[in-house]
Structure 1
């Protein structure tokens, strides 16, 4: 191992329970942590958060970054436009979206997923400001 040890980041109460949907929308993302990676070959951003969707119109997405989604609650349907296959994701299911993936998200009820993406913050989690533990942390990694 080379270089100094780096402390981890802990965000207390990084829950999904208080993520409001924007007025007139049936889905939203809530990014709760981002950082510029220290990967030597190809540095990038690494951001994580929650995806929440309720019944309503399908939500199209075209990926210019990589993303993983792990379903926590409910169900999320994902239409893979490249293959025409409709995936019905339930708790415990995991999906990986490649650069160039084109999908449509929908649900018949409601769904919640944890995600990790290779992009900077897009929509900060509305209820997590100043929730990072401070002890031993460099404050520059906050949202």
Structure 2
């Protein structure tokens, strides 16, 4: 099996018309790539966009890593709060309860240990 290449993914696949709305009226997430592994070992990667408005409160039932690539957001796990900026990386564990909020917008790339489409 050869490599898979998505040209200009950040520019071509991250608008609110291309990413599915997952919560409220301002949280969007879409898978771009999914591994062929069994469901319990499958990796999913794509983009998460948070717009100004209702904070997203999310309880992870899988492990995920995220890197902020544009904008900025507040990320809180209830014990610490971080102001994320482009280049910042997060590791969320299965069971973590995280709140995402922004005064403007944030675009993040993620890789999660979950089957395709599970949000």
TM-score band, normalised by shorter chain: 0.7 to 0.9
Give 2:87's aligned residue.
Answer: 92
More strand by share: 2
Alignment pair present for 1:68 and 2:65: yes
Give 1:115's aligned residue.
Answer: 110
Contact 1:19 1:30 in 2 (8 A): no
TM-score by length of 1: 0.70
TM-score by length of 2: 0.83
Contact 2:25 2:54 in 1 (8 A): no
Higher deviation after alignment, 103-112 or 6-15: 6-15
List 4+ stretches of structure 1 deviating above 2 A.
11-24
In structure 2, the gaps of 5 or more residues are: none
Alignment pair present for 1:53 and 2:40: no
Aligned length, in residue pairs: 112
Structure 2 Cα separation of the partners of residues 46 and 61 of structure 1: 19
Structure 2 Cα separation of the partners of residues 17 and 99 of structure 1: 25
Matches within 5 A, 1:12-51: 12-15=7-10, 16-20=13-17, 22=21, 25-37=25-37, 44-51=41-48
User: Which residue of 5, 10, 23 maps to 1:10?
Assistant: 5
**CA positional deviation for 1:25:** 1.1
In structure 1, the gaps of 5 or more residues are: 1-5, 124-143
**CA positional deviation for 1:36:** 3.1
